[in-house]
Amino acid sequence: MRPQTLLLIAATSMTLSACLGGGSVRSNLSQFHTLESVPASATFSVVSWRPELDSSLEFHSYAQRLTAIMREAGLRVVEPGQPADYIAYLDYGIDDGRPVTYTYNVPQWGTTYNSQTTSTVVDDRNPGQQVINSTVRGTDPTYGITGYTQEVRNRTVYSRFVHIDILPKNATSKTTPVYELRLKSSGSCGSIPSLMPRFMRAIDKRFDRKSGYSGKVKTGGVDC
């Protein structure tokens, strides 16, 4: 098989993988903050919105990543349990998923070009140009997509989220956060441990940059 054909097959395989739920993880992310008003000497601590997660090793791994992101942004983050001026509340979750039916086109492969050439030798000395020899040669055929068939598939789509709110210590329900981030994502992967590293990369791209940002963030890997 020719190299061009192999490249076409590989490209089509990648396209089908994306259609069937592969592809990169895409998230909608919004961020608002007034961190510029926070004193440079202020300290921060990362905790969970839900107290039942405080003893979770899974949560602590995400909290450590958020701690690193905040420190890279220039904030003074203390270890969990230590007194702090501001508390960063981290929350995340995923729903039970919903069934989705969709169609996609599957390429059909075959011969796209297979011409022939004729080589003829004639006798110019005789009237009527008598044919002495005639040879037909076929060129190498080329292969590619000759058409498409439609397939129907079912899959489950999950809604995922990550929320971060930073408030002063001893804040009440009426206290305005100094930082608020909302990440929403949907895809075929229903595993938070598989997704959180990518969500954290999406957060790292935006944390403590432009307040009022709202847009899509694409991170590598496969939405399993």
175: domain CATH number is 3.30.160.670
Same domain, 87 and 50: yes
pLDDT for 61:
95
Q: Which structural domain range is residue 121 located in?
A: 109-151
Residues 21-44, mean pLDDT to the nearest whole number: 89
pLDDT for 160:
97
Which domain-ending residue is among 151, 181, 211? Answer: 151
Same domain, 83 and 159: yes
pLDDT band at 127 (very low <50, low <70, confident <90, very high): low
Same domain, 86 and 123: no
Same domain, 157 and 79: yes
**Is residue 43 included in any domain, yes or no?**
yes
Residues 170-187, mean pLDDT to the nearest whole number: 95
pLDDT reading at 116 higher than 80: no
pLDDT reading at 163 higher than 60: yes
Place of tokens 């961190």: 35
pLDDT reading at 38 higher than 90: yes
pLDDT for 6:
40
**Is residue 81 included in any domain, yes or no?**
yes
What mean pLDDT value characterizes the chain? 82
Same domain, 31 and 72: yes
Same domain, 147 and 43: no
Same domain, 96 and 186: yes
Same domain, 87 and 156: yes
**Is residue 1 included in any domain, yes or no?**
no
**Is residue 9 included in any domain, yes or no?**
no
The proportion of the chain whose per-residue pLDDT surpasses 90, expressed as a percent, equals: 52
**Is residue 118 included in any domain, yes or no?**
yes
**Where is pLDDT greater, at 164 or 132?**
164
Same domain, 124 and 203: no
Residues 196-203, mean pLDDT to the nearest whole number: 94
Same domain, 171 and 214: yes
Same domain, 140 and 198: no
List, for residues 62-77, the tens digit of each pLDDT value: 999 999 999 999 999 9
**Is residue 212 included in any domain, yes or no?**
yes
Total domains in the fold of the chain:
2
pLDDT reading at 137 higher than 70: no
Residues 101-121, mean pLDDT to the nearest whole number: 71
pLDDT band at 88 (very low <50, low <70, confident <90, very high): very high
Residues 53-69, mean pLDDT to the nearest whole number: 93
pTM of the model: 0.69
- Which residue type is seen at 17? S
pLDDT reading at 7 higher than 60: no
pLDDT reading at 123 higher than 50: yes
Same domain, 68 and 179: yes
**Is residue 188 included in any domain, yes or no?**
yes
**Is residue 45 included in any domain, yes or no?**
yes
Q: What does 116-177 look like in DSSP terms, one character per residue?
A: EEEEEEEETTSTT-EEEEEEEEEPPPEEEEEEEEEEEEEEEEEEEEEEEEEEETT--TTPPP
pLDDT for 164:
97
